[in-house]
Every structure is written in structure tokens, then in C-alpha cells.
Structure 1
């Protein structure tokens, strides 16, 4: 048994209080997240501000369905956007921006095209990845063959055989178009000079597919279904080559059952896709990012579906001295990536002005055109939004220098539905019973975050920015804050847990409770009890604490819970960036589900039904939360 580390952060002087939970009506509708601030403040900081951004000097012409031959003989289809004058392509060679999309290059709002860049002297090549849009084949989601296609495409675009290319290539895109930048750059294609991944995936399993060991019901069916639907939209060459278009549609349609539906059924039934393994590892940019050597600007969202992996990707690049920057804002997936996907989503990084495109332009100008940009060079490596203050601090690293991890111990006697638990005192009281509440999570920020922000676009319910109703479904542990408490970095919880069932799940939320009772989720984490096995060598330890636990999540690592006997469970809580102001309360909230974000595969569900959990925090079974406190 590990001893509970002592709590020595500025909260030590704060009185431990049983702050009441404000009861609000539960809502069963889709939930909204608070409107995201613009990135204007982040981009106008002294180190980030540049001279006037270049105005547009060209029109745009598009050559549709250009055939690009891969090294296995398969021909994929791309659209080529070229700078133009008077409706005709401008003569000469230009740097090239390459984008790869599974969302059909012909679909407005999903093409990843950027006329902003083309009008300023870049050629852009947008290709449907294999098995999507107009490209033949079977889509297998970031498969090794698709990754090889990315290398082929860059080398095709950088070739002197392209009369419009000067041989220098940058990669562009968001989400899938961000993660495949890293997978492509890791292969060192000829001509590649810089990348700008927006909201990219890091670890396919841990970031999104199986967060904590359950299946992501909020995003995965939505995403797989979206790719399936867009893949059977008739190609733009249907009129000129109807037989080829018909063959491609039949091929794509057949693949829906073979890949998308098969993958979901396998995961939900407890098959190999419910666990981490080679399938996910070979599709995870974090496993190849150490091979990326070109300058990389990572844009992430603090409430993005890839909230966990984005800072990790930046850390690995910066650790090796690769020229890298990291912008981390208070955005969901669509809010951060909508502009780069080609969507006009209200509240995105590009609203009210085109800050993100300007930043991209400067990055590409710096590394593709060789344009001097001292302000970009001086820009702090890390810029992040501080929830709770509205400020955009800068830092030389992530987490920021001076961050110290401290443990807040659970105490008191928490009871579901009211606050009686405490944080920061001695390990005492308990065990506390968290009831089995399978629909817990519906009235939280999770619903908006894990539907990529879509739920927030269609809802005005208050749940997205007030978690107080949901907190009644579980246990809460509070400590009042008397001095500003700044947090930046990953969080973890070490909890001693028992159950009468073989399995179960922990959802742990870190929250900021205002004096009026409004409860704002800062971040959250999840852990399936049967997958609690910890790999200490791969876990991150700071100040004697495991601050980023690493679980294998393999079928072989599964171990049923011992009946009614407490065992330690380490929960990885995704990164936080915020300040809890004086007069507010820091809260740790614990529930047994996070629906509709996560759902248990059927075998796991059978082993969990009806059984609640007990959280132990006495002297023999201490429990705590490790926080990244800024000095």
C-alpha cells in the first residue's frame, strides 16, 4: 500500500468545509457547452503579434479529380486548388499545401480546402483517402496502407513533374486531417517542410475509442456513420465516368458492413476491438511522433475529444528539439477544428476574425517560403487559455515551469445527493457508497464534448456549464479556496474502491463551484475497475506521485474485482488549465457512469449491473487526487 502523500499546496490554510450542493432539475435533452472565447487574445499577445498579414493577391481555380497513382498501382483522386488571375491559373511554381480527408473532398464544410491560403500564393492539393469520396478501395481508418498513401501524395506534390510546384510542401487540416499529418511526416517524405495539425489524435484507444476502458458511444458511432454516409455520395466525376463512379460507390457501400459496423459490433460485444492492441497502436500518432522532424504547430482544445493527446504530441516534439508550438484553447472539437475542416461553426477559433488562418499562413510562410518572422520565432512555445480568469498565459513548456504536483486527500463522510465529503484533510471516515447510476453524465459538459461539440450547437440547456444536478448522482468532496489556485497539466486520482460486483466504472470530475452553487467541470477522467492494472514504468511520476497513470487496457490485463474488498485504482484525469478563484470551492465528483459518452461492452455491463461502489479513505486505505499546482 502506498502511503498518502502530504498535502502542502496553498490550500493547506483553507478550512475544510461541507459545502452544500445546489439542487437543479435534471435535463434529458442534448447539452450545451459554454460559448468558447475567440483566439484573438491568444494571437494578439506581444510575443505572438506580427506585422500586418499578407493580403490576398490571387483568385482561385480548381482542377477536379486529378488522378494520383500510389506505389501499389491504385489511383486515388485529388482536387488541385491553384492561384489564378482572371479565371486562369497563374503561371509559375508555388509552395504546396497537402490535405487528406475521409469526409469527401466534394462536400462543402468537410473538404479541408483553404482558399485563404491559395489566394496568398499557395497551391493546395486535397485528396480523398483510399476508400472514401471519389477514391477507390476499402477505408480502414488510418491503416498502414493509408499512411503510405500520405507519403506517396506528398512526394507526388513536391515532384518537379508538377508544373505548379516549387518542391516545398506543408500539411494542413483538422481532426483526421491533423492526425494524418503526423502519420505522414513520420515517414519523411521528400519535400515536406512543415505541418500544422489542428485537434489531432494522439493515442487512438486512450484518447477517444476506449477512454478508461469503456466504448465511446458519444463519438464513435457518429464518426463512423458520418464517414460511411459521405463515402457513398456520388463522386464529382460521375457525369464523365459513370461506370467508374458506380464501381466506387458499390465498393464503399460494401465496406460499411465490413469495417464500420463490424468494428462497433465487435467492440460493444467485448471482442478484441474493446481492448487496446496492434489495431489501435498502428493508428496512433503518439507511437510515431518521435520520427517527426519538421516544424510542427499543434492546436488543441481543452474540451476537445483529443484533449488528452494534443499536449502529449507537443511534449514529445519539444523534448527532441523539433521547432514546435502549442496553442491550447477552451474549445470543443468543432469549435477548434471547424475552420480548418472548412466549416463555418459559430464560436470557432476563426470567429470573429480569421486568427487561425493568419497563424497558419505565418507558419507556412516561415518554413515554406523562408519569410523572416521574428515575432513568430519569439512566440512562446506554449499559449493556453486559463479557465476561470479568461486570460491566455504563455509558457516555455507544458505543463508550465513551476508546476508542482500535490495530493489532496479525501475525507469526511460523503453521501450520494449531498456534500459531506472533504478534501485536503487527514484520511478519515468512509467508506462512502456511490450508487450505480447508468445514466449519470447526461446532464454534464461531457455530452457536448464527446459529441465533438455537435450537441452544444442545438441546445440551450444549462447542463453544459453547470454540473450541480449531475453531482447529486454520486459523491462529492470539497475544499473552499482562499487564494487563487492555478492548475495546469494532467490530473490523477488514486482511489481505494470496493464492490460486490466483478466490475464497474469510476467517473471522476474536477470542478469549480461558485458561491452561488454553479458547478463548472474543469476536466474529467474514467476508469473501468477490471482494467485497473497499472504499468508503473509507462506511468508519469512527479513529486513522488503518479500523475499520469498508464493502463495496458488489454484483454490479458483484465482482473475481476475481489468481492467487497478495497483495492487501489488509479484514474487518469485529462489535462486541466484553469484557476479556482478565492471564495469558490474546488470539488472532486465521483460517479459510476458517463452516459452517453461511454458505454460498457456487454460482458463488462453484465458484471457491473446494479452494484454501486464504495470509496475508502481511512488511514489504512487512503485516497487522494494529485493536482498540477502552479507556484
Structure 2
């Protein structure tokens, strides 16, 4: 098909029924009013003018050249849109999205068919809006998202508190504190800025008020009723990201309406993600939209239900530009057959089932509370130390079981399952399980992991305290993986009672007694499949180039103060200062985050995350600084935050979210 001309509309005001004005950036194919076109809609709080402009400019012009309009809209209180944000995936946000879809479908340039797309926030709300069934929404592409907001997002994981919850709360304070661009909104910019500064919430307060899987988390979790989603859905994720479970959960829940694609990637669109190989996302997305928004008979509906990249004995490194492996496809996805392992009398992980009624073999486990510093981030944006590094340091604080060197390659795809019996020495505690590839030279690669708050052992809605000394059975489903363990390598199961700083510690650290004789590990066998090739993008460097004024920088450090018996995990991320060559707007974000803990005292845990956000043009400079903190007692979480705003280096605003204590639920 010949490339079509198009026009970029830098800012279009859309007036909602309640009088709120939202800002859109539109890529419009030429001649659309005479020959109406389908539309792809993306709805985010991340600022079309500067925040997402590089990735938008890598994709929507390609769609427009293929005759598909792109409409990228900032949600309330973001970018140039009016109002103040009121939370994540709120009823108001989703209602706005439905109204916007109807607006798009009613435009003279629209053929009445709308697709919704996004990564992360936009991937989340695409699925959630699909479940609301707005009539004009015909298909979805959801990347790095979730079907279960409680267990597969940055807040909680099987009842464990993720440190990313504080990190993300600080991020959103920083992101939402930025003003609209005066070049688009004119003199109203400062009035709008002050309104959102005064009104933006500290999301952490709401999240910590819902420590169980209650109605707050059920809202927006399409796993509550998969049947609500009736339209074709392409679900994409990467093994290096925290949202790796979603594609397989989606096809299991949605059946033939869904297609799954999982690559080796971090939290990025797959045409520019790391580690490589990448995919021709543009080509596949255009075919997807043409099929479901135009009715083109192009065969995209005949894709295998699940396609995945099988990582081949990868090695952790300071930076992973490319991961060895191969692509496989399954025409129909079904729960895989498990290869079972148990621990034999000499402590080896051995193929087979645990011996029924074997005598108990209790082993006491109490990991140092700083076990976990090799875990990386929950969701990753770069293929460096944000990803899990060599696991040997974490294994030192763990109970480990290895196979003998493998006699043949072993391929797996799906979610490993661990079962065991244990006795706790307190009323609560955490358990982490890691599946690790031990290379012949001892290098340890994390393949999959899972965590459970032991009071949530029977579900996340109604946790129950443990009875010290009482035997309980645990079934822990690890995150999904696609992996080849090579001949000569060993498979390791690592168990720990801590996984810090990714997982925050329980109030008591008494340890557990694990009955080794009861331990069973099931690994999901790859089974029947086809080897496939997936086309890589023609353009290896698709992101636009902006003017660099200050280079980006990143640093991660673990500092162990032996005299003070304290471990600090320190993060420094600087996006650099970059100027958009067409708008003249320069932006920069700086993240400074420190987590600290005494390896023997769970109540010593503290976290501080600070975001500094700059925006400038000649003669205009604004800065916001947002800091969020968390600490704990045995009974309470203690949180606080402050947001400060500057215009031309003069402080014009400060909002203090005073220290607040929120009772800890069963831990």
C-alpha cells in the first residue's frame, strides 16, 4: 500500500459533557473527511507535549501513513488538560475514555471504528475500557499491563508490599506537579498549574488503605469477569518486566478473543525495547487495526494464540543489549504439563514427586533482611541493573537446592509452582522462591520468582494469621517464564524469608521451619510447539532525536555500613536535559531514591524517593520537587510527602502531606 500523506495537529481541544477541556494531539491521514478512516486512541497522564512525545512520534506517523488516525489525549490534570487527577483507573477516568471514544467515532473523518492502545497505564485502561463495551471500540492492543490489579501491579504481590508502591507514588507526585505548556494554553497556564498543585492527591494514602484484595482492586481487574471483554485483544509483555504474567493470563481468560506475545523486553514498546531481538510492532499493529477496524481480510486473526521468546541460558550482565533465544508459537494455549521435582535425602533437587508420608525433615530459615539486593526493579525501563543481576549474593542468604548437572537441554514456558509445608515462629512472615539457572562457571541467572505473605496463603481477600508451631501447606505460583536450561547447567530453587528492597519486610522476623520432605516443584514444560521467525523492525533506531543539553546518567549502589549494621540501596536516575526541536521545550527529570534497613531489624526499614522535574524555554523556567517517605512500626505504616514548586528559581508553592499512620494489616 502506498504511503499516505498526513497532518499532525499539535493540540486539539475536546470539550467533555461536564465542561472539562481535554487536550489531544492528532495524526490525521490526508483526505480523511472525504474517505473516513479508523482511529487508534491512547489515553494517558504522561503528557503528550513532552513525556511521551518520542514514542508517539515513532508510531503515530507510521499509522497515519497507513491511513489510520492517531488520537493521543492527556487525562484530566495532565499536560494541557483541565482539572486535577483523582487516582489510577478511576470511574471518572474510564467514563471520560468512553465519552472520548464516542466523540472520535462521531467525527466526520472517522469511519466509526476505534481501537485503543497503550503500554502500562494505557495498556491497563485499554483493557478496562474494553470491559465497559463502548459501542465504537472494536479492538485493543495492550502492552505491559495487568488483568489483576492487586497481584500484578506495583502495589502488592500475593499480599506482600512492593517498594515500588512508594516509588510510584513519588513518581506520580512529580509527574502531576508539572504545569501545562504556556505555548498551548496561554496565560491560563499558571492558574491551571496552581490548581493541580493544590489538588493532586498522594496516591500512597489510598493504596495503603486497601492492603487486601477488596473492591478497590477488583475495580479495573478484568480477571473478575473476563466475559465482559468481547473484542479482539492483542496482549504483549516482556520477560524482563514486572508484567510478564498478563499475556498468558489473558489468553486463558479471554480464550479465542486474545492473542499473546511475550519477548525478552523491559517495560517498553517492542519496536525499540531492550534486550533485543525486537519485533516489527508497527507492521503487526497496522495489520491488527486494518482487520478489526476496517474489515480487511489479511489473516492477522489466524495468528497463533501464544507466541513467546524462549531465553536460552542467558547471563546477567551490567547491560544486556541482546538475549540469546528462539521464538516459539502455540496455536492454542492450554495450561502446560508439569515436570516435577522434589528434594531427596541428601538435599539434591531431583526429578520426581515428594515421597508420600515421608518423615518430616524440618530446616530452619531466617534470611538476613537485606537479602534481595540482586532483584532489580519490579518494572524495568533499561536493560542494566534495573534487571536482576547475578543471584549469588542473594543465594548466600537463602536456602538453596540444586539439581545435578543436566544431561540434556530443558525447555519451559509458563508458571512454575512450588508446594511445601512449614511451621512459622510468628503470626506472619514472607516467603520468596526463585528459580535460578546455575551456569557451569557458577554464574546464577534468575529465571522466575514468586513471593507470598504467609497470612495470604489461602487468598488475598481474607488473610488469616499463622499459629506459631502449627503446620501449614503453602502453594506458591511463581511468575511466568520462557527459558532453556542448557545441558551441563543446574536448576536451583532458592528460598528466602526476605526479598528487600523489592518486598518490604513483615513486622516480625522470627523465621520459619520448612519441611524439606514435603517440598515439590513443578516446572511448566514447553510441550508441542512450532519454531517461528518474528520479523524485526526495518528501522533499528526509530525514536526521534532531540537536542541534548545535559546527558542522561544512572547509578545504582548497595552500601553496607558494617559499623552501623545498615544496608542502603541507592538509586540515581537523571533523564538528562533534552529540547524538542520543534516546540523549543526542554525537560529533565531526576530521581533520587534510598532504601535502608538493618539486616536484623524489620522495623528499621525506611524509604525516601524524590523527583525533581524541570521545564524550560528561553525566559521561562519552572521546577517541582516531590518527596515521599515510608517507615514503619510493628503496628503502623508511616508515610509523608511534600511537593514544592518554583518559578524562575523562586518558590511559589508548597504542599505538605503531613505524617500519616496507617494500620498494618495482617503481615
Pair 1:235–1:281, CA change in 2 (3 A): same
Q: CA distance change for structure 1 residues 212 and 99 in 2, over 3 Å: closer, same or farther?
A: same
Between 1 and 2, higher relative CO (CA 8 Å, sep ≥ 6) is seen in 1
* Distance of 2:359 and 2:326 partners within structure 1: 37
Give 1:103 deviation, angstroms. 0.9
Matching of residue 578 in structure 1 with residue 509 in structure 2? no
Structure 1 residues without counterparts, runs of 5 or longer: 1-53, 415-419, 535-550
Q: Given that residues 250 and 260 in structure 2 are in contact (C-alpha distance below 8 angstroms), is that contact kept between their aligned partners in structure 1?
A: no
Report the CA distance shift for 1:377/1:355 in structure 2 as closer, same or farther (over 3 A): same
Match of 2:415, SS state, is strand
Distance in 2 (alpha carbons) for counterparts of 1:579 and 1:122: 39
* Equivalent residue, structure 1, for 2:85: 138
Indicate the residue corresponding to 1:496 in structure 2. 421
In the alignment, is residue 469 of structure 1 matched against residue 393 of structure 2? yes
Over 3 Å counting, the alpha-carbon distance change for 1:388 and 1:412 in structure 2 is farther
Whether 1:227 and 2:172 are equivalent positions in the alignment is yes
5 Å-filtered alignment, 1:591-610, equals 591-600=496-505, 605-606=506-507, 608-609=508-509
Deviations 1:323-353 (A, max 9, x none): x32111122223xx375xxxx655467x5xx
Residues 397 and 348 of structure 1, relative CA distance in 2, 3 Å threshold: same
Cα contact 2:366–2:512 (8 A) shared by 1: yes
Aligned residue number for residue 329 of structure 2 = 394
Aligned in 2, Cα 1:483/1:101: closer, same or farther, shift over 3 Å?
same
CA contact (8 A) 1:98 1:125 kept: yes
Q: Alignment length, in residue pairs?
A: 507
Indicate whether 1:101 and 2:48 are aligned. Answer: no
**Does residue 182 of the first structure (1) align with residue 127 of the second (2)?**
yes
Match of 1:569 among 474, 497, 502: 474
Distance, in Å, in 2 between the alignment partners of 1:155 and 1:525 is: 41
- Whole-angstrom distance in 2 between the partners of 1:152 and 1:360: 24
Which residue in the other structure is 2:192 paired with?
A: 248
Distance in 2 (CA, whole Å) between partners of 1:189 and 1:627 is 40
The yes-or-no answer on 1:56 pairing with 2:10 is: no
**Cα contact 2:303–2:331 (8 A) shared by 1:** no
Does 2:237 correspond to 1:306? no
Give TM-score scaled by structure 2 length: 0.71
Cα deviations by residue, 1:238-287 (Å, 9 ceiling, x for unpaired): 654433x334323322344x3424236xx2xxxx3222211111032323
- SS of the equivalent of 1:469 reads helix
1:331 — aligned with what? Answer: 265
**2: CA distance between counterparts of 1:295 and 1:205?**
24
C-alpha offsets along residues 364-386 of structure 1, whole Å, 9 cap, x if unaligned?
Answer: 11222222213x24332211111
**Structure with greater helix share of residues:** 1
Structure-1-length-normalised TM-score: 0.74
Determine the C-alpha separation between the residues in 1 that align with 2:105 and 2:397.
57
Could you tell me how far apart the structure 2 residues matched to 1:176 and 1:240 are?
A: 25
What is the 5 A alignment of 1:116-127? 116-127=62-73
Residue in 1 that maps onto 2:206:
263
Displacement after TM superposition at 1:111 (Å): 7.5
Q: CA deviation at 1:490?
A: 1.8
Change in CA separation of 1:215 and 1:455 when aligned onto 2, cut-off 3 Å: farther
Distance 2:471 2:328 in 1: 41
SS at match of 1:574: coil
Alignment-derived partner of residue 634 in structure 2: none
Question: Conserved in 2, the CA contact under 8 Å of 1:431 and 1:616?
Answer: yes
CA offsets per residue over residues 76-97 of structure 1, 9 Å max, x none?
3222221249xxx886422111
Change in CA separation of 1:119 and 1:237 when aligned onto 2, cut-off 3 Å? farther
What's the CA shift for 1:205? 0.8
Partners of 2:116 and 2:141 within 8 A in 1: yes
User: Quick one: distance in 2 between partners of 1:373 and 1:56?
Assistant: 18
- How far apart are 1:626 and its partner, in Å? 2.3
Give the 3 Å change call, closer, same or farther, for CA 193–348 of structure 1 in structure 2.
Answer: farther
CA RMSD of aligned residues (A): 2.7
2:216 to 266, 279, 282: 279
